[in-house]
Structure 1
Amino acid sequence: MSLVKYEILNKVAEVASFTRAAEALGLTQSAVSHAVSSLEKEFGFALIHRSRAGVTLTSEGDTMLRAMRHVLDAEELLQQEAAHILGVTRGKVRIGVISSISSNWMPEIVRIMDNQFPGIQVELREGDYYEIEQWLLSGEVDAGFLNGQNSGQFQFTELQQDPLLCIVSDKSPLYDKAEIDIVELEDMPFILNSHKGTNDVNVILEQYHVKPNIRFELSEDVGIISMISHQLGISILPKLVINNLPLTLKAIPLKQGGYRTIGIAMKHQASPVTKKFAEILSSWLKEQNMK
């Protein structure tokens, strides 16, 4: 069975569309459809459920795709090891990133990778911690940024502790404070980041038994900041997401401290290219911290 067919099915599942998969792979839609149909004929059961809303994997398709990804990963590792023996760094690395990392770190890291290792193709996929962990488990990414990882399934390297800050408007009674005691947030109108997985803000609120009046739960930091700008509440956000606050807003440290731990998780048997990416990332962060 052709690895190309596996790659096609993988892309169809990723983008949930024959048309978008064809565009991404530089193929015709009929070629993509034929490849999937050919696999279904070889296996003897449906892999894709087709509907007017789009395409989704059948339960059998999901099971088979997981196995196919292992094969594709093994092929990619084989090619990378061969290149490594020849003294060449070449291959593809897929990284799961959170929004604050994609905007603050990735532009410079990708630039460095492009300049120093033009043979490495970096692919970024943005999501929250929960989604990135699921992508790691399913093999959809080779490495991903998480906020702490106790699972033995991954190799986790801590990179940085990102302080949590209280964001208030100039109309807030807390605006002139040099620091804020988290207990002062009890019953105050609050906008919470609603991402799935371990929520760093919920953790610190629960740690100190503080229950603010949660008015809104939003998934995008820009929406939270906009709500605060309109005096609709306050919030707690990591420092990395608030580089360009409006002049009417202020980021104030918490008396109790508090931070999120950012690290990169990867398979224990990571590919040479994945290891090279992590090495470049760690070196760059060390240089930034020394400035």
Structure 2
Amino acid sequence: MELNQLRGFCALARERSFSKAASRLSLTQPAISLQIKALEDELGETLFERHRKAVRLTPAGEVLYQHVHAILASLEEAKSEIAGLQQLLGGHLAVGTSDTICTYILPEIIRKFRSQYPAVRVDIRNNKSSLILQMVLDNEVDFGLATLPLAHPQVSTDVVHSCRDILICPCDHPLSRKRRVSLVQISPYPLLVFPAGSTSRGLLETAFRQADLPMQVAMNLSSVEIIKRFVEIGLGVSIVPHVAVTEEERAGRLAAIPIRDLPPREIGLVERRSKRRSAAATAFLKLLRGHVEQADVAD
């Protein structure tokens, strides 16, 4: 077996399409087909069931994938560690994170990290928290930073920061003069929220359900920035992390009111249990923890 054949096999197993696997590896479809045929000939087993629109692993293919996936992940870790030996914290760092964390928490940390370790190539991949979990499982990132809870037997999670969600509303809204509000007071007003299925939406639905209150969803929006703009022009109110609205609050464009009966949102580190943390990842997380500790003191 050759490494290129194993990489082609894993890509096809993930993508379930010869064309997509070829595109992922910057190869041609015939090249992927030859790699798979060579593996099947060597093993004497069919590894994929071919269908018109997709391919699927056979039982033999499933067994091979479990082992090859772990082998390739170990090789990537070895390459990263060797690169770190060649040059202080050289190499590559990939972080999976949500839009909110990427926009409002990470910029200053990334600036400091790039200043201290310019040789490290940093790759930030932002997505929904549930998809960040899959990135971690697929070894596409060194670790994830996402809203908890996220649970999977192959990953560990560790709370690195707790942030408060607050109500935002136009400055002339009836709730804007309140020093603090409750979910009972918020419930009658139309809410601008993240789409169903997101971790943030799930936490909000749980809080209203536990309070035995209806949640009046006026609109589903996929970005905090869009939510803030729509609230500003009077299309509804919303509940977002306080860290996301400091500029608007300071400029008087939005009212930001603490919510007394809403628990803090937990931001967590998500890692594969079997993955060894690289030197670059360790240095980044040290900066992250120092930054959030300072923020907690300031609060």
Same fold at TM > 0.5: yes
1:272 and 2:272 matched? no
- Please give the secondary structure, in 1, of the residue aligned with 2:230: helix
2:232 matched residue in structure 1: 229
Query: Residue type of the partner of 1:113?
Result: F
Q: How many residues align?
A: 280
Correspondences of 1:3-42 after superposition (within 5 Å): 3-4=3-4, 31-42=27-38
Q: Per-residue deviation at 1:67?
A: 5.2
Instruction: Provide the aligned C-alpha RMSD in A.
Output: 3.5
Unaligned runs of 5+ residues in structure 2 are 41-46
Q: Per-residue deviation at 1:19?
A: 9.2
Q: Per-residue deviation at 1:143?
A: 0.8
Correspondences of 1:37-186 after superposition (within 5 Å): 37-44=33-40, 58-60=55-57, 68-83=68-83, 88-149=88-149, 151-186=152-187
Q: Does the Cα contact within 8 Å between 1:201 and 1:237 map onto a contact in 2?
A: no
- Please give the secondary structure, in 2, of the residue aligned with 1:174: coil
Query: In 2 relative to 1, CA 233–105 (structure 1 residues): closer, same or farther, beyond 3 Å?
Result: closer
In structure 2, distance between residues paired with 1:98 and 1:271: 21
Query: In 2 relative to 1, CA 120–72 (structure 1 residues): closer, same or farther, beyond 3 Å?
Result: farther
Which range is displaced more, 188-197 or 130-139? Answer: 188-197
Percent identity of equivalent pairs: 21
Query: In 2 relative to 1, CA 285–255 (structure 1 residues): closer, same or farther, beyond 3 Å?
Result: closer
1:144-185 Cα offsets, whole Å, 9 max, x none, are 112224545323221111101011113421121111121112
2:291 matched residue in structure 1: 284
Query: In 2 relative to 1, CA 191–118 (structure 1 residues): closer, same or farther, beyond 3 Å?
Result: same
- Please give the secondary structure, in 2, of the residue aligned with 1:232: coil
Q: Per-residue deviation at 1:47?
A: 8.9
Query: In 2 relative to 1, CA 33–41 (structure 1 residues): closer, same or farther, beyond 3 Å?
Result: same
Residue 210 (structure 1) aligned to one of 209, 213, 231: 213
In structure 2, distance between residues paired with 1:17 and 1:251: 51
In structure 2, distance between residues paired with 1:123 and 1:49: 35
1:36-61 Cα offsets, whole Å, 9 max, x none, are 2332322445699897xxxxx63329
Q: Does the Cα contact within 8 Å between 1:228 and 1:234 map onto a contact in 2?
A: yes
Query: In 2 relative to 1, CA 66–32 (structure 1 residues): closer, same or farther, beyond 3 Å?
Result: farther
Query: In 2 relative to 1, CA 105–228 (structure 1 residues): closer, same or farther, beyond 3 Å?
Result: closer
- The normalised TM-score by structure 1 is 0.78
Query: Residue type of the partner of 2:244?
Result: V
Q: Per-residue deviation at 1:237?
A: 0.9
Query: In 2 relative to 1, CA 101–208 (structure 1 residues): closer, same or farther, beyond 3 Å?
Result: same
1:259 matched residue in structure 2: 264
1:73-106 Cα offsets, whole Å, 9 max, x none, are 1012223344566784333332111112212233
- Please give the secondary structure, in 2, of the residue aligned with 1:244: helix
Q: Does the Cα contact within 8 Å between 2:89 and 2:119 map onto a contact in 1?
A: yes
Q: Per-residue deviation at 1:215?
A: 1.7
